[in-house]
Amino acid sequence: MPTLLWTDGLVFLLMLMVGMFVLHVRRHDHLRRPWRTVLRSRVAMASAVILSIYLLIGFLDSLHFHPKLENPANTETQYSTQIKSVFDVLVGHLLEQDEKTYSAPFATHQFSKETVEGSDGTSAREYPRLKFGGAHLQDPVNDKSADVISIILKSSLKSLLIFVLLSLVIIWRIAVKKDWLIKDAIRSVFKGETETPWLVILMTLGVILWLLIIAWDLSHFYHIFGTDKVGQDVFYQAMKSIRTGLIIGTLTTLVMLPFAVLMGISAGYFRGWIDDVIQYIYTTLNSIPGVLLIAASILMLQVYMSNHAESFTSLAARSDMRLLFLCIILGVTSWTGLCRLLRGETMKLREVDYIQAAQAFGVGNMTIIIRHILPNVMHIILISVVLDFSGLVLAEAVLSYINIGVDPSMNSWGNMINSARMEMAREPIVWWSLAAAFVFMFVLVLAANLFSDAVRDAFDPRLREREE
Amino acid sequence: MMAYIFRRVLYAIPILIGVNVLTFVLFFVVNSPDDMARMQLGEKRLTEEAVQGWKEERGYDKPLLWNSEEDGLEKVTETIFFKKSVRLFVFDFGRSDSGRDIGFDIKQRMWPSLAIAIPGLIVGLLINISFALLIAFFRGTYLDITGVVLCVILMSISGLFYIIGGQFLVGKLMNLVPISGYDTGFEAIKFLILPVLVGLIGGIGSGTRWYRTIFLEEIGKDYVRTARSKGLSERLVMFRHVLKNAMIPILTGVVVVLPLLFMGSLITESFFGIPGLGSYTLDAITMQDFAIVRSMVFLGSVLYIFGLLLTDISYTLVDPRVRLG
């Protein structure tokens, strides 16, 4: 039975909006021009491929449902109260491979010693075999590396096959679209002569596919990032955290955008007392240090939630509510910058001839704002949205680390780092949770940073100056 | 000048009132003191007396805005709003929920915060500016591209990793300095080296990139072309003209954060166990001590507004073209 969490709904709304925006841009040539620069940038396209893989995982993880309960006695279908996502089903094997406690990446034996009872009744302290990690091996000490290498080789072959097929499909599409012969299309793609850097896109896609397929195949036999304190697969946790990171990075913007745009434009357009009031509001909000405002609000949310525990049906709904609230409060602390930029730009625009003319013709204020001002400040909105993203993903980790971020029960990179803090003090150290969070976060933030730089350069290389 | 400063201080008053009212609403209206008491005491079956006792101890038992039981002026003064919020204006922070004097704690704890923040700021500025100047000097070459790519990579790593990595490498593997803790006097230095170092490395990426754009903007201006056409060497142009003029945006960017240095850094201080204001705030957040968080919100806003004022004044000092009207 499908179910809709609050954040899921907003994610779909956001995707709908992005889709409509893309359609709108495609239809207007002057809007397409800056995007064409982005499309031609090699760095931007490589980052875009990486980002879309993240987005895909995040999207699959947002399709939630209540799984059916296996109950042969009852003919009526019943649904579990737990919530799962489509992504959970896809990587179902990771969910079922829980160990008892910590185990290192690719380990076959547990991380800590345990008293094991031998077949003859004697007990000994030793590292017990893992339930799933390398359980198919007879002699784990000698066979493991050969087994891992053979899996890697097999999946490399598999990914090469998929990659070749995929490239052929893409090249065929290019050939059809440009009315080229397949032969010419292949040549110009591999010589890097196409306008869109297809070679780079294919290469990035190939590398990601290769890594994903290897990870996927290995994860059936080993815990490739080890397991955490309660024996859960760290690779699974790191992938589940993608959704949290993406939601913080995108929904925060969605939440703050209406305020920032409405207030920024009306302050710049109407001037007078409206301008004074709006300036007062954002100066006041801005003068409270962001972390403290977030901390205070989250504290208050905690009080509210502990006193109204009955209004949250499940743990997932509760942590989802907290995630949404965190987005809202992050939005409240981060809209002021965009608002100020929009105010300044609108103040300049309202003196421009075509707006003066529209006013002289008696066009209503709302029409002027929507038809003339909004399209002309769109690039500022877009750039600030894209630039904010990576900062928000990083902020999530810091906030979760100091316990004012997402719910501790939620998978997030911040929570992984938080728990890693204790693990680093162990001897020998448990480094894999931290490493997994680091890799997943670093790739996402780096790709987002590179992509947003390309977008900024394409839309307005001089924006920095105006921000001053 | 004095008139300008006076006017700016007057402007700050409504903003501070706004902050004050906002925190009041956040802390006392969204959730009533009863809610806070229940959260703090945390037991399942709470007696009404226990809640009342908790509130009385901390002075939360008064009405929020209007005390109709008192006479005259005390109708207004014997309220939570007056006792807890209005008193903040004279920097009377009152007592924390655990009974300590917040004002005293703040005075004690600001020194360790400053001991980390000031060296970090100064050395960080020097390093970032020299790197940025170097990259800007070799703009368009491979050195520039490598530098910018390195900056983006450094920027993409969460600050938490720098701290954990630094603690692990320097503190644990090499055993050079203690991982965390603090001491008085000169003994404190060995505890301060690591946090300052980590802060520096964490800030290099964004700092260098930011100053590079400032330098590049200056390099594009007319006076630089004039200086070059006079036959000045590129080195002289960079140091004598570009650096000097770029100091204006750099300086004003620094001045605005100066007062906030008192507040310390939540993350760094708690990781390294430094008893500054940052870890003070963080402890209050984890212990859900509402009085301390409220005081720190107010103090932070005051310092921020003070920083804005300092920025405006410093503009007039470094840039003679700016006149305060």
Amino acid A161: pLDDT = 92
Q: To the nearest 10°, the Cα dihedral for B282, B286, B291, B293?
A: 40
**A464 pLDDT tier (thresholds 50, 70, 90):** very low
| A424 contacts chain B (CB < 8 A) | yes
pLDDT tops 90 at residue A444 = yes
pLDDT at B6 over 60: yes
pLDDT at residue A400 is higher than 60: yes
**Binning pLDDT at 50, 70 and 90, where does residue A467 land?**
very low
pLDDT above 50: residue A106:
yes
What is the rounded distance in angstroms from the CA atom of residue A220 to the CA atom of residue A207?
20
Q: How far is B19 from chain A (nearest CA, A)?
A: 6
Residues B14, A438: C-beta atoms closer than 8 Å: no
The reported pLDDT for the residue numbered A450 is: 92
A292/B270 CB distance under 8 A: no
pTM exceeds 0.90, yes or no: no
Which residue, chain included where needed, has tokens 């008139």?
Answer: B3
Pairwise pLDDT comparison (A116 vs B252), residue with the higher score? B252
CB contact under 8 A, A398 and B282: no
Q: pLDDT class for A446, splitting at 50, 70, 90?
A: very high
Q: Two tokens at B225?
A: 């072309």
Q: Give me A414's structure tokens.
A: 């911040």
Q: Which residue has the higher pLDDT, A52 or B83?
A: A52
Angle at B74 between CA B72 and CA B77, to 5 degrees: 140
A295 touches chain B (CB under 8 A): yes
Whose tokens are 């704690």? That residue is B105
Calculate the CA A273 to chain-centre distance.
40
pLDDT at A261: 92
Mean pLDDT of A335-342: 89
**Cα–Cα distance, A357 to A349 (Å, whole number):** 12
Which has the minimum average pLDDT: A205-219, A254-268, A270-284, B258-272?
B258-272
* B270 contacts in chain A (CB < 8 Å): 402
Interface confidence (ipTM) of the complex: 0.84
Nearest to B221 by CA among B206, B198, B237, B207: B237
What was the pLDDT predicted at A74? 60
Size of interface A-B (CB pairs under 8 A): 125
The shortest C-alpha distance from A401 to chain B (Å) reads 9
Residues forming beta bridges with residue A126, ordered by sequence position: A114
Own/partner pairs for A417-424, CB < 8 Å, 24+ apart? A417/B158, A417/B160, A417/B161, A417/B164, A419/A228, A419/A229, A420/B164, A421/B164, A423/A102, A423/A229, A424/B164, A424/B167, A424/B168
Helices (H), A61-197: 86-90, 92-96, 140-178, 182-190
pLDDT digits (tens, 9 = 90+) for A232-252: 888 888 998 999 999 999 999
Contact at 8 Å (CB) between A373 and A364? no
The pLDDT of A63-80, averaged and rounded, is: 71
Averaged pLDDT for residues B37-59: 71
Q: What is the pLDDT of residues B256-278, one digit of tens each?
A: 888 878 777 888 888 888 888 88
Whether A185 shows a pLDDT value over 50: the answer reads yes
Using alpha carbons, select from B132, B115, B139 the residue that is nearest to residue B253.
B132
Q: Name the minimum distance, in Å, from the CA of A342 to any CA of chain B.
A: 21
Q: What is the mean pLDDT of residues A184-195?
A: 79
One-character DSSP codes across B288-306: T-HHHHHHHHHHHHHHHHH
B219-250: per-residue pLDDT in tens? 888 888 898 898 888 888 888 888 888 888 88
Q: How confident is the model at residue A461 (pLDDT cuts 50, 70, 90)?
A: low
Tell the residue number behind the tokens 């294919």, with chain if given.
A202
pLDDT at residue A451, rounded to an integer = 92
CA distances B236 to A263, B214, B231, Å, are 47, 18, 10
Q: How far is B212 from chain A (nearest CA, A)?
A: 12
Are A402 and B266 inside 8 Å of each other by CB? yes
- Mean pLDDT lowest among A117-126, A262-271, A333-342, B8-17: A117-126
User: Which one is predicted more confidently, A104 or A161?
Assistant: A161
Instruction: Provide the pLDDT for residue A126.
Output: 73
pLDDT of residue A468: 34
